[in-house]
Amino acid sequence: MTVQSVPDASAAELALRSVALRGTAVYGAYLAGSEEIEAAIEELEQELAALDPGVQIATLRPRDGEQLITDLATTTAELVLVDARSFAAPDWALLDRRRSSLEHRGVLIFVTTHTSFDELMRSAPNLASWLGAQVFAYAREGAGVEAARARRLAALRTWASKSDADVIREAEEGTLPRDPEYAEWLVLLGRGDLLGPRAP
């Protein structure tokens, strides 16, 4: 993945995805200009809290990769935002070698610059594979939570060729596939209660 191929996402859209995916172990990255990192983190914190006032959020600001490993070991928050703008190739390479120390139950998002992300892609191939499709570029002040929810639901309906009613019915019957997209779908519909316990 290159920076040019990273899709845009507002803080509202990323917050929706993150809340839907908590309870799993998911790693992502949110890319912004160095002058926008603080705004991106602040907006993300606000959107997460608006979606679920009871959600546990930790914002870590480590000076380097070693400190991140130490800080992460002391947090139990289910959503972790990492200000990684200062991370360079040696930090990402360290985290790649010690990636088992990054294992965390919940969602961990590296908020970093495009330059730092390029270093991650070059220096940390294993960590990069953990990020998968959960890499987005910060889009300032998007359409808001409701518009983002509607847009994402429309995309999910197209992806699965199913209606909201189909998904709810399958969840109630216990036949809904366990793909994270379906968990996200239920949360977006306000039916996260149908998820039930998920395997560790």
Beta bridge partners of 80: 58, 108
Partners of 39 in the beta sheet? Answer: none
Write out pLDDT tens, residues 144-200: 566 677 888 888 999 999 999 999 999 999 999 988 888 888 888 888 778 765 433
Transcribe 122-177 into DSSP letters.
HH-HHHHHHHTT-EEEE-SS-S-HHHHHHHHHHHHHHHHT--HHHHHHHHHHT-S-
Residues of the chain with CATH 3.40.50.300: 3-142
Query: pTM surpassing 0.85?
Result: no
3-state class of 17 per DSSP? helix
Q: Which of 157, 150, 145 is nearest to 182 (CA)?
A: 157
pLDDT tens-digit map of 74-97: 999 999 999 999 999 999 999 999
CATH for the stretch 3-142 = 3.40.50.300
